[in-house]
Structure 1
Amino acid sequence: MSMNIEYTKAKFWKCALQVNPASYIQYRGKNQDVSEDDYNQRLLEVCLEESIKVIGIADHGNVDSVVKIKETFNAHGIVVFPGFEIASSEKIHLVCLYPENTSQQALNNYLYEFDIDISNGTIPSTKSADFILSRVNDKGGFVYAAHCTDDSGILKHKLNNIWKNPNLYAAQIPTSLERLKDEGDQAYHQILLNKNPDYKREKKIAIINAKDIEDPETLRKENATCLIKMSKPCFSSFKLAFSDSESRVRLNSDIKEKYYSRIESVRFVGGFLDGIDIEYSEHLNALIGGRGTGKSTLIESIRYALNVEPISKETKDQHLKVIKQNLGSGFAELTVKSAVKHGKRYKISRRHGESPIVKDESGSVSNFSPRDLLPDIEIFGQNEIHEIAKDPSEQLKVVERFLNTDKIEKESGVSVVKESLFVTRNNISDLTLNVISLEADVQDLKTHEEDENRYKELGIDQQLKLLPIVESERSTFNKISGKVEVLKKAIKDFSESIPCGDFITEELIKEFPDKEIFENAKLALVELKDNINQSVAKMEADSESVKQKVELLDKELQVSIDRQEDSITKEFKKLTPVEGLTGKQIGEEYRELIKNIERLKPKRAELDAEQIKLDEEIAKRKALLAELSEKKTNRAAAFEKGVKKLNRKLKGNIKVNYSAEKNRLALIKLITHYRLPDVAEGRLSWMKEANEFSAPLFAETIKKGRDALIEKNWGMTPATADRLSKISNKQIMEIEEFKIDDLVSIELNVSSGDEPLYKKLDSLSTGQQCTALLHMLLLDNQDPLLLDQPEDNLDNAFIAERIVTQVRDAKLTRQFIFATHNANIPIFGDAEWIGVLESTNENGMLPIQNQGSIDQPNIQCLAAKILEGGEDAFNRRKEKYGF
């Protein structure tokens, strides 16, 4: 069969490995009422309906039906593995399957070799199970233990020596492992898990379901088939799958629907990667190739299409340089399946120098951005993981991804309280300024009142007793005019805030089943607004009329005041001169004094009112600070709980330590922004390690002054304490409500034994630092992870011992795309898709024949040439590769 794009990646195919022919029902003691052709046709129909791609023929000691079944099934693309079921001399049943091109004559020869009477194939062989296993394997076949927990099964007969034979690849059980345990077969359960010392195998046996098919309808049962991962359904790939059964063999009951995003395909038009078209696996994908073939370019082009920026300026500059040089005037196009959009597919394309374009499945341009579709996608180019290892803030971001940070922050309510504290801080600052200003006015008023007493001693107040009355008239009428303006503005504001029914449009309600109700509601709103508008119009007319009346009265009052002032001025001349001042001069001074007193008199009441407001805000702030303390405690407890859960997921490979509000760098920067003389960051370094330190305590101590700061023994110099004691009250409030960052430290278990030995990230080698971070990056995320040559900064031993194991587990619920030259990742990680890039001077190339899984000979050969260690290293992996 020629290479087909369908076979460029490994996936699970449904296989029925114990299919019996039409004659089998007679073996069961029943009458066969359909012809062999009709039986085969019905068998085919059920296979097609159930998407069964492979069947294994396993009649008891007979292969007469093989040719007809192969002809019928092969014509419809279903692969047939010919074979038979026999009983060994120990009377245990074994199913022997052979390559699809094995002839009927060859099968009969095998039966003859096993001393099977084909006229009565149910009679046990005279050959032992060990002999049968060895001979089938020598002939390129495959054997599994049939009905291993039943009366004819290997476990029922307690044949642990045969169970441990490495030529026995698999064991058939009637149900799932868990159900077997629940039904009371504890001993079998332990053996199948390879935990019974008497049955301990060098490699855990593969568990399959392969129910005897005596009727086509039986194929529909869950335990009639199992799932085998292969690039192309064929015997060589089938057999190779059992060399890595933990990755490639599954029961139907093992497969649960996993909801996660994936990049389904990518294609390039123009540029260095022109013509490359990839359909990725939803699991592990490994891009390999020599230097300069375009591995990094491909990863960076996907990053560019998704508009995911590198973490640093240096890597961003390098990323843009790669795109400019290699994408050119062409474009990259991705097809993605988005978990957050309920599994919907979108196409994302981007040309160099332009923004990404997102289209939905209908081809319509979407308003979603790539980040809306894959909000948590992670892409790291060469050395980017090392950059994270050097930056504590980036490490914190990695850890926070697993802690539901947004949810904890929201539920804690800390941000809400901080917003309220910000308001009170500004209110207190404004009110304090107002109080200070009013206190100055009241002080001036007291001074003026004292001056007034001096004039009273001279009897001038009696001679000019009309003067303060006139000034009181003037200030009182000014208030009246002000009230009119306030009322006019209030009417205007009210008028502009009246709701209306304009939002109830014909377009909005045209499909509403209760459209008439909404139409009547709109009429009611319109009527209400019309009535209100009429009232507002009257109020506006009334207020304008009042304004005009007040203006006329103001003029009338001013005429009267002018007349009164003329009279008062005449009285000035009658005043007795004092200390060289004429009566007129004394009168003018007195008039000015009275004007100021009348102007300032309201300030006393205003001061009292503002002081009450200030006291209320201070009390409110005090309560908010207490609430903030409580909520920060609850927040810290939630994060600590999340970190414990995270550490359990990390399974001892790394350990995350969490300390609430211990990273004080941001607080140091805040204080340096106050630009206190001689107080730079260095003078505040003591703050990083200060014991019994918190932002509220620090603010409270600043209020107490220089000596209190020194007495705390936090490590500051007296000069620094003096400078800090002089900062403003508003700055003190800013400090007391400041949320100090949490401190997260990561430790790697560097022990190779059972006892863990943890070392902090900053004490590790570059490779170990990056290994620790990669452990975390591989954890829960519904969006893909793309890595460009992660092994460049990883400890090689850790890749083989830990990273690959974690990848194998994680790839079941997350997509990975790695560009690599380390054999451990695609081979022991069992990559479902391997792409082998090649290049000329002008272009990178990835033809169809260079895409597939390790079960394909062409991929094996290409990988052996390119990956780490070359063919010698690959020969050492003989069992995995099947060389």
Structure 2
Amino acid sequence: MRRDYCKEFIGRCIEKGLTAVSITDHHEGVYVYEALQALAEMQEADPDLNFWIFPGMELTCKDSCQALIIFDVDLAQNLFEKARSRLSLPADVKPEERLGIQVELLNHNLEELQSLLDGDDELQGRFIILPHVKPDGHKTVLRRGFHKRFKDMPYVGGYMDKARPDDLKPGDRRILDGEIPAWASEKRGVVSCSDARHADFRLIGNHATWIKLASPKAESLRQAMLAPDSRIRHSEPALPEALISELSVSGSKYLTDGTYLFNPQMNSIIGGRGAGKSTLIEYVRFALGCSAIDDDQDTQTTATQRLKEILEGTLDHEIGEISLKVLLNGTPITLTRTVARQDVISVETEGSVSLSSVADVRMLVPTQQYRQGELSDLARGDAEERLLRLVTAPASHQLSEIETKLKRNAQSLTDALSKAVRLSASQHAQSHAQTKILLLKSQIENLEKQLSADGQVPATAITEHENFTRQGEALASARRVLERSKETIGDSLSDLISKLNVATTGQPVFLENETLRQVFNSLQTAILPGGSLQTILESATAWFDSELGKISSAEKDWAPILEAHIREYEEQKKLLAGKEAVLESIERLRGQLSEVEEQLEAAEVEVNELRNADSELVALRHQRAELEVQLSAVVQNQIATIEEASSQLANGRLAQDPNYSEIEEAIQQAFELPRLRGLRIERILKNVQNVPEKPAKWKEIQDEALQLLKWKEGAAEDKGDAPLTPILSEALGPEFMERLKEAISTERVSVLLRAILRPRVEVFHIRDGSPIEFRKASQGEQAATLLNILMNQTHGPLIIDQPEEDLDNMIINEIIKTIRAAKDNRQLILATHNANIAVNGDSENVIQMVLGRQAAGGAIDEEPVCDAITNTMEGGRVAFELRRKKYNF
């Protein structure tokens, strides 16, 4: 009966999402060991069942204070009974009887319990005592007059029934947070309990507590109480959006082949010099496409060159392979990269595998990574761009979208510029052709008058020759119009049909919505008054083919008529004695007229096709200017968060002078002329730098270059005077302006139109309440500020090799507070020699590296890891104790 009840209890706990419980039937231990046996049977049937039951006691001490004692999950029942004996509790439990024994007060005060149980070697370290700390609760220690006893208690945590710390009054909360020195100077961990006593389990899980435990031991609970900010939550915690779960190494000549596991929160890689810490981190970076091999070769430092040599020297060139398992919002992704094909990275997700570029993977998995000493390097003058990237990392998705739009805009801008220049040239050609046609017709008309000036009337073949010629040209022109239009209309309709098909496939999703169904059905059938789009396309194609066929027939019929006319024309020419020269001039001018009319037709077609080119170029330039404004706005919004993100160590602002590098490079490319000195280029740039409205001045320079290009590309015979270019003329001078008029090209102007003024940030360190330029702060101050900013961001995993190298020792403890808070929002992977970071930062996972292999791994709760930290980072237990004695702590 009890066994079945216990199984039902465990099942209900699992339904509620609980993975660990403590059962305290006062101090008897009857139900807990029955439940443990029931759990063993359930796990035998289902080996994957992961559920812990902690044996516990609920006691009331002589001083009228209540406490829970929670033991290791695997504490044997005889040791539980031994603990009861050590506390002088009644031993006649009588488990088969319906009622338990009468609960009495202990003969001991609350603070005596620890030493009583620690006095037994078999019990020492296998329990944790949690006093009742609910203010005004039943037999709580948080009551008036108890402040000294509370402060001196040897207990690191507490519990409260049917309440959470967030429910407390601010003053009571501050006591538990260690903010009132009279009560406590350190924060206590608190476990909320449901106190579920009903047979129907109605209260189970109502006041659950989320606790990070490395193992089902009381020591794990103790570690959680010592680091409540990191390990205890009273509402369901959220994991970071992007995290690295596992690294697999194969074909390494130094690191042991195998798998290295990472915790979703904080991971500390420890070990002596040359143990493989930096190599392990660089392997992670290699899989992410961010290793020393992938760095810009022009900006590599000695350190990155060394890491590049490590990668190339330790990973086998034929079989070296690194695989990284990543979770992106819960979706598993496996990245695999080999040395043999290091230019691509295999991306496996949901059963499909694709090859991606290194750049694409860096975009796919957002991370921030810093090697030894790189944090303080960010403050160097030549590292301004990296500092900007760090500050704006939380908005990287927004910035990436803007950059993608800028890139797309740049491509469209280049095409639009080319079209606008062609339009300008065609308009010039059109105007020139129209003028020339008028002139040629006037000349032909005067010459034709000369043919009949002596009273001799030319034959019909002579006077009608121009009409015959024009008739043939009209047929040819009509053919050209039809052929062009058939191609244009056919392509447009085919493209529209294809795009509509893509847009409506699988739509609507909500079939029950009548409006949606009508819209998508209408688009799918694409019925117009003249029929469906497909029918219209077929009809239009058939009409064009029919008309072209008619033209072919007309050309065939017209050809012999034209030939007969030409024969007669040639005969009549011979009869016009003395007027051969006039006829030859007329024929020559008519030939020129025919050519110019063809040129006019081509120009008119071009002008018609490109009629929107200027407005498109204007719109694209306006769009680019808007994107430039958006870029600055996003950066400015991020700068506003620096003070809070740096824990009040810094503030920042958008610099009054933007980043001129892009437009400076564009000016150099666009106005590169033989023997042109850099001083003249600087004059052009100064025009932008020396005015308040810098974007407006930059646009004026772009406009001058654009107008000059349009003028140059116009018809050679009809250019007229060059446009006014006051800025360029003043900067370059007459000689170089003449050269520029010859050299200006679409490519040069395109470079100018694409260049924008990018935002620049100014960061200030706050020292004693006063801001100082960031570059003037000490390296430790700089690194502390930047590390705080990084920790408070949420831009994917943060990977840093030895952050303490950049930090002053006095600052590290302040950073620890930030680390504890940061772990909820982003995964941390830190290689470190500093015990404060790994231990006080409460690293969920410690990886000990020894000569290229993992010697230990897990949380500090686990003995091998604790020993590894003590020996590697503290110099061993003896050295640690000696220092403690010397400090007289």
Tell me, what secondary structure is at the counterpart of 1:741? coil
1:789 maps to 802
Of 651-660 and 801-810, the range deviating more from structure 2: 651-660
- In the aligned structure 2, how far is the partner of 1:388 from the partner of 1:491? 61
Letter in 1 for 2:475: I
- In the aligned structure 1, how far is the partner of 2:828 from the partner of 2:413? 45
Matched, 1:236 2:219: yes
Letter in 2 for 1:789: Q
CA-CA distance at 1:268 after TM superposition: 2.8
Letter in 2 for 1:428: A
Tell me which of 475, 483, 489 is aligned to 2:478.
483
- In the aligned structure 1, how far is the partner of 2:221 from the partner of 2:201? 23
Matched, 1:426 2:418: yes
- In the aligned structure 2, how far is the partner of 1:788 from the partner of 1:392? 21
Tell me, what secondary structure is at the counterpart of 2:158? strand
- In the aligned structure 2, how far is the partner of 1:534 from the partner of 1:630? 44
1:298 maps to 280
2:862 maps to 856
CA separation of 1:161 and 1:633: change in aligned 2, threshold 3 A: same
Matched, 1:394 2:389: no
CA-CA distance at 1:836 after TM superposition: 1.0
CA-CA distance at 1:291 after TM superposition: 2.6
1:377 maps to 367
Question: In 2, are the aligned partners of 1:86 and 1:95 still within 8 Å (CA)?
Answer: no
- In the aligned structure 1, how far is the partner of 2:363 from the partner of 2:238? 20
CA-CA distance at 1:371 after TM superposition: 2.5
Tell me which of 748, 753, 773 is aligned to 1:759.
773
Letter in 1 for 2:129: V
CA-CA distance at 1:129 after TM superposition: 4.4
CA-CA distance at 1:618 after TM superposition: 5.0
User: CA offsets per residue over residues 309-344 of structure 1, 9 Å max, x none?
Assistant: 53322478655543332222545454624325xx23
Letter in 1 for 2:798: L
User: CA offsets per residue over residues 852-877 of structure 1, 9 Å max, x none?
Assistant: 22222322222233237766885599
2:831 maps to 819
Question: In 2, are the aligned partners of 1:358 and 1:366 still within 8 Å (CA)?
Answer: yes
CA-CA distance at 1:72 after TM superposition: 7.3
CA separation of 1:357 and 1:289: change in aligned 2, threshold 3 A: same
Matched, 1:246 2:229: yes
Question: In 1, are the aligned partners of 2:650 and 2:771 still within 8 Å (CA)?
Answer: no
Size of the aligned set, in residue pairs, is 803
1:164 maps to 151
2:184 maps to 201
- 5 Å-filtered alignment, 1:520-531, equals none
Tell me, what secondary structure is at the counterpart of 1:743? coil
- In the aligned structure 2, how far is the partner of 1:287 from the partner of 1:297? 11
- In the aligned structure 2, how far is the partner of 1:350 from the partner of 1:821? 29
CA separation of 1:324 and 1:446: change in aligned 2, threshold 3 A: same
Question: In 2, are the aligned partners of 1:771 and 1:798 still within 8 Å (CA)?
Answer: no
2:673 maps to 676
- 5 Å-filtered alignment, 1:87-98, equals 87-89=61-63, 91-97=64-70
Letter in 2 for 1:855: D
- 5 Å-filtered alignment, 1:125-144, equals 128-130=109-111, 142-144=128-130
Tell me, what secondary structure is at the counterpart of 1:291? coil
Question: In 2, are the aligned partners of 1:787 and 1:819 still within 8 Å (CA)?
Answer: yes
CA separation of 1:775 and 1:540: change in aligned 2, threshold 3 A: same
Tell me which of 175, 181, 196 is aligned to 1:191.
175
User: CA offsets per residue over residues 243-293 of structure 1, 9 Å max, x none?
Assistant: 223223333xx2234352332222334433334322221111111222332
Of 496-505 and 779-788, the range deviating more from structure 2: 496-505
CA-CA distance at 1:233 after TM superposition: 1.8
Tell me which of 43, 52, 60 is aligned to 1:86.
60
- In the aligned structure 2, how far is the partner of 1:487 from the partner of 1:556? 24
2:715 maps to none
1:256 maps to 237
- 5 Å-filtered alignment, 1:99-114, equals 100=75, 103=79, 106-108=82-84, 110-112=86-88
Question: In 2, are the aligned partners of 1:347 and 1:360 still within 8 Å (CA)?
Answer: yes
1:563 maps to 568
Question: In 1, are the aligned partners of 2:27 and 2:56 still within 8 Å (CA)?
Answer: no
Tell me, what secondary structure is at the counterpart of 2:640? helix
2:160 maps to 173
1:866 maps to 872
Letter in 2 for 1:834: V
Can you give the 5+ residue segments of structure 1 that lack an aligned partner in the other structure?
1-33, 576-583
Tell me, what secondary structure is at the counterpart of 2:193? coil
Of 413-422 and 818-827, the range deviating more from structure 2: 413-422
CA-CA distance at 1:395 after TM superposition: 3.4
1:830 maps to 842
CA separation of 1:808 and 1:312: change in aligned 2, threshold 3 A: farther
Question: In 1, are the aligned partners of 2:166 and 2:173 still within 8 Å (CA)?
Answer: no
- In the aligned structure 1, how far is the partner of 2:549 from the partner of 2:394? 64
Of 163-172 and 773-782, the range deviating more from structure 2: 773-782
Q: TM-score, normalised by structure 2?
A: 0.74
Tell me, what secondary structure is at the counterpart of 2:87? helix
- In the aligned structure 2, how far is the partner of 1:274 from the partner of 1:198? 50
User: CA offsets per residue over residues 686-715 of structure 1, 9 Å max, x none?
Assistant: 63743322221334577785755698xxxx
- In the aligned structure 1, how far is the partner of 2:182 from the partner of 2:810? 31
Tell me, what secondary structure is at the counterpart of 1:207? strand
Tell me, what secondary structure is at the counterpart of 2:366? coil
Superposed CA RMSD: 5.2
Letter in 2 for 1:851: G
Question: In 1, are the aligned partners of 2:193 and 2:207 still within 8 Å (CA)?
Answer: yes
CA-CA distance at 1:832 after TM superposition: 0.9
Tell me, what secondary structure is at the counterpart of 1:262? strand
Question: In 2, are the aligned partners of 1:50 and 1:220 still within 8 Å (CA)?
Answer: no
- In the aligned structure 1, how far is the partner of 2:533 from the partner of 2:442? 59
- In the aligned structure 1, how far is the partner of 2:596 from the partner of 2:463? 13
CA-CA distance at 1:200 after TM superposition: 4.3
Letter in 1 for 2:482: L
CA-CA distance at 1:758 after TM superposition: 4.3
CA-CA distance at 1:235 after TM superposition: 2.4
Identity %: 17
CA separation of 1:548 and 1:50: change in aligned 2, threshold 3 A: closer
- In the aligned structure 1, how far is the partner of 2:31 from the partner of 2:568? 132
Tell me which of 554, 557, 567 is aligned to 2:559.
554
Question: In 1, are the aligned partners of 2:433 and 2:597 still within 8 Å (CA)?
Answer: no
Letter in 1 for 2:68: V
CA separation of 1:641 and 1:360: change in aligned 2, threshold 3 A: closer
- 5 Å-filtered alignment, 1:43-82, equals 58=24, 60=26, 78=52, 80-81=54-55
CA separation of 1:734 and 1:565: change in aligned 2, threshold 3 A: same
- 5 Å-filtered alignment, 1:447-846, equals 470-471=465-466, 473-488=468-483, 490-491=485-486, 536=541, 540=545, 543-571=548-576, 573-575=577-579, 584-597=580-593, 599-600=595-596, 618=614, 632-633=628-629, 636-645=632-641, 648-659=644-655, 662-674=658-670, 675-679=672-676, 683-685=680-682, 687=685, 689-692=689-692, 693-694=694-695, 695-699=698-702, 728=744, 734=750, 737-747=753-763, 749-751=765-767, 753=768, 755=769, 757-760=771-774, 762-764=775-777, 769-781=782-794, 783-792=796-805, 794-797=806-809, 800-839=812-851, 844-846=852-854
Question: In 2, are the aligned partners of 1:652 and 1:756 still within 8 Å (CA)?
Answer: no
User: CA offsets per residue over residues 435-490 of structure 1, 9 Å max, x none?
Assistant: 44455555655665776688689787787877675235424521322312432454
Question: In 2, are the aligned partners of 1:706 and 1:721 still within 8 Å (CA)?
Answer: no
CA separation of 1:189 and 1:495: change in aligned 2, threshold 3 A: closer
Matched, 1:284 2:284: no
